[in-house]
Amino acid sequence: MKHTHFVLLVLTLAATFAAGADPLLPLPVADAVARAKADPRVRQYLMPTRIVWKSDDPKAAIENPEMLLKPFVGQITLDGRAGCKLSNKGAAPGILLDFGQELSGGVQIAVSDSAKGQPARLRVRFGESAMEAMSEVHDPKGATNDHAVRDQTCLVPWLGTHEIGNTGFRFVRIDLPDADSFVTIKCIRAVFIYRDLEYKGSFKCNDERLNRIWLTGAYTVQLNMQDYLWDGVKRDRLVWIGDMHPETMTIASVFGNVDIVPKSLDLIRNDTKLPKWMCGISSYSMWWVLIHESWYRSNGDLEYLKQQKDYMAALLEELSKHIGPDNKETLPEMRFLDWPSSENKPAIHAGLQSMMILTFHAGAELMTDMGDEALAKKYLAVVERLRKHVPDPNNSKQGAALMALAGLGDAGELNTKFMAVNGSKRMSTFYGYYVLQARAKAGDYQGCLDSIRQYWGAMLDLGATTFWEDFNLDWTENAGRIDELVPAGKKDIHGDFGNYCYKGFRHSLCHGWASGPTAWLSEHVLGIEILAPGCTTIRIRPHLGDLKWAEGTFPTPRGVIKVRHEKQADGSVKTTVLEVPAGIKVEK
C-alpha cells in the first residue's frame, strides 16, 4: 500500500496527541485517525475481468468498451480522456461487468468527459449473479434493496471520480438514463472492503474439488467479517447469533483467535435482556452458549469466559423453566432450526430437545472450567431429565443429526435411517454442517466426503465463488450458471428458486453459515480434535476415506500445528506431525 505524505503527517499527529502535546491540526483529524485505527478492514481496488453484456441498440451507443478492462492509475488527467463512451441517443446504453469473484464494497467510477462538462447521471446495479445485476427492484423474481442498496442512480462528476455502493456483489451494470447525453468513463473498478487476515489454517489433498471447497468456505466467512460477524454481505448484514456457530468453527480452523467473535457475542448479549430470546428465537439463545463452549475450547481465554457467567447462568435458568413434567422441552415461539425444516413440527421438537441437552451439557462443562461445581452438577441433572424423552425426527436430517450429536439415539442407526438416505437430498447449507458432524460420529466419513463433493461442489459447478444461503440439488436440473445470462430454455438458478425469506434474487449467494465443510475437513480429514481449552491437548486422528493423502495446518493460541497423512499400500494411514508448538500435548 502506498502512503502519502498526508498519511505520515496524520500518524505523526496521532503520536503527538498520544503524548499529550498541543495538536498541530484540528481535533477532527485526530478523531479520524482514531476511527481508522479502530477499523480493522482494508480497501483494495480491483479491475473487472470481463464484459458480460452490452446494449447493441444504435440509439444506445457504446464506444471502446474494452478500455474498462485496462489498468487505471487512479487519477484523471486533462490529456487522458480516452475511455469507454456511453451515448444516449434516445435509448439508455448499458454495460455489465464481471469482477471475477464475490466482493463486499462498491465501485469507483472515473469520468474523463461528459456532455457540456456537467455531472452525468448513471444508474448502477449490483448483483451476486449476472441475472441479478440485470434485474429491476421488486420484479417478480424478488430483487430488492433490502439490507444494502444494490440498485440506485447517482451523479458522477466531469473530470473526477465517484464511489457508490456498499453491498455484496460480483457483477455491476452501468446505464446512462438521460436522453441526449454522453459520458466517457475512464475506469470502473471495485472498492473491495475486507479484513486482510492471514490464513493460518490450510487444507490440501489429492482431490482439487475438496481443496476448492475448503478455500471457498474460508473466503465466504472472511467476507462476512466486517464491522461484526454478519450472516451475508448482500442481505442479512446482521449478527444472527445462531448462524454464527458454523462461522465461528470456520474462523477457529482458518484464522484463529479473531476479536470479531467475542465482539459479536457481546453485542447480542447486551442487546438481549432476559427473559427475551436472542434474535427472538429460543434456539439462538442456546447457540450463544454453544458458541462460547466452542470458542473457549479453541482459545482458552478464561477471563473472557468468566465475563459471561452471570448472564449464562441466568439464561440457563430461564431455559430450565421450559421443560415439562414429561421431560419434554416446551420452548415458546419462535421455534426454529433452519428454514427447510421450519414446517416440520416434530422435527423441530426433536432438534430443540437435542439442543437443550447440548446446551445444558455445555453449560455444565463451562461452569466446571469457571470453578462452579454446584452449577455444573445442577445442569448435568437437567441433562439427565431431558434424556428421558426420545423424540421422533420425522424423517428430518436436521432433527436426526442433532439427536445423534446429543446422544438421543445411536448415531449409526440415525445415519442409516435418516441422514445417509438419498445422499445430499434434503440438506441445507446451515444444518449441513451438523449433518456432517453427526455422520462422522457414526463413522460414515466416506459418505461425508461424497456429500461435500456433491452438495457444496455443485455450487462451484454453477459458478459460485462463495457458498449460498440455501441450496437444493433439485434446482440444478437444466439450470444456467450464475456467471452467465441465462440462455433460452434454461432455468435461472438464482432468480427462479428459493423459499421463505430467500426467494429469487433476494437469495444471498454469500452466507457464512454455509462454510461448514471448511471446519469439518480440518477436524475430520486432517483429524485435529481439540481435547482441552486453548488447544493445550489435541488428538490427531485422520479419516481419509478415498483420499490418497491430505496435509494442512491448524491455528492454536501457541502457534500452528502442521500435519501430513499418506495412505499406504495396505490401506493404513501414515501420519507425520511436521510441527507442533511448545506447550501442546498430542494424543493419537
- Classify the C-alpha dihedral 318-322-324-327 as positive or negative: negative
Whose cell is 462461522? That residue is: 247
Give yes or no: residues 16 and 75 share one domain.
Answer: no
DSSP per residue, 376-407: HHHHHHHHHHHTT-----TT-HHHHHHHHHHT
AA identity, residue 456: W
Give yes or no: residues 381 and 398 share one domain.
Answer: yes
Q: What grid cell was written down for 158?
A: 466531469
Any idea what the CATH number is for the domain that residue 116 is in?
2.60.120.260
- Residue 498 belongs to some domain of the structure: no
Domain count, the chain: 3
Query: The whole model's pTM is what?
Result: 0.93
Give yes or no: residues 160 and 307 share one domain.
Answer: no
For residue 334, cis peptide bond before it (omega within 30 degrees of 0)? yes
Give yes or no: residues 10 and 111 share one domain.
Answer: no
Give yes or no: residues 237 and 346 share one domain.
Answer: yes
Of the three residues 479, 498, 530, the one that is the final residue of a domain is 530
Give yes or no: residues 137 and 219 share one domain.
Answer: no
- Residue 165 belongs to some domain of the structure: yes
Q: What grid cell was written down for 310?
A: 452471570
- Residue 102 belongs to some domain of the structure: yes
- Residue 484 belongs to some domain of the structure: no
- Residue 486 belongs to some domain of the structure: no
Of the three residues 177, 195, 213, the one that is the final residue of a domain is 195
- Residue 64 belongs to some domain of the structure: yes
Exposed/middle/buried for 454, CB within 10 Å: 0-12, 13-18, 19+?
Answer: middle
- Residue 78 belongs to some domain of the structure: yes
Any idea what the CATH number is for the domain that residue 312 is in?
1.50.10.10
Question: What's the rounded Cα separation, in Å, for the pair 265 and 279?
Answer: 12
Give yes or no: residues 351 and 432 share one domain.
Answer: yes
Give yes or no: residues 257 and 167 share one domain.
Answer: no
Of the three residues 164, 195, 226, the one that is the final residue of a domain is 195
Give yes or no: residues 220 and 320 share one domain.
Answer: yes
- Residue 389 belongs to some domain of the structure: yes
Position 38 scores a pLDDT of 76
Q: Residue 528 CA to chain centroid, in angstroms? A: 22
Residue-level pLDDT, tens digit, the chain, 588 residues: 444 444 444 444 444 444 444 455 566 666 666 665 678 999 999 999 999 999 999 999 999 999 999 999 999 998 767 899 999 999 999 999 999 999 999 999 999 999 999 999 999 999 999 999 999 998 889 899 999 999 999 999 999 999 999 999 999 999 999 999 999 999 999 999 999 999 999 999 999 999 999 999 999 999 999 999 999 999 999 999 999 999 999 999 999 999 999 999 999 999 999 999 999 999 999 999 999 999 999 999 999 999 999 999 999 999 999 999 999 999 999 999 999 999 999 999 999 999 999 999 999 999 999 999 999 999 999 999 999 999 999 999 999 999 999 999 999 999 999 999 999 989 999 999 999 999 999 999 999 999 999 999 999 999 999 999 999 999 999 999 999 999 999 999 999 999 999 999 999 999 999 999 999 999 999 999 999 999 999 999 999 999 999 999 999 999 999 999 999 999 999 999 999 999 999 987
Sheet holding 202-205, edge to edge: 202-205, 549-556, 559-567, 573-579
Give yes or no: residues 245 and 353 share one domain.
Answer: yes
Cβ–Cβ < 8 Å for 151, 173 = no
Q: What is the largest CA-CA distance in the chain?
A: 82
DSSP per residue, 515-552: -HHHHHIIIIIS-EEE-SGGGSEEEE----TT-SEEEE
| Structural domain for 364, as ranges | 202-469+508-530
Give yes or no: residues 257 and 377 share one domain.
Answer: yes
Give yes or no: residues 215 and 168 share one domain.
Answer: no
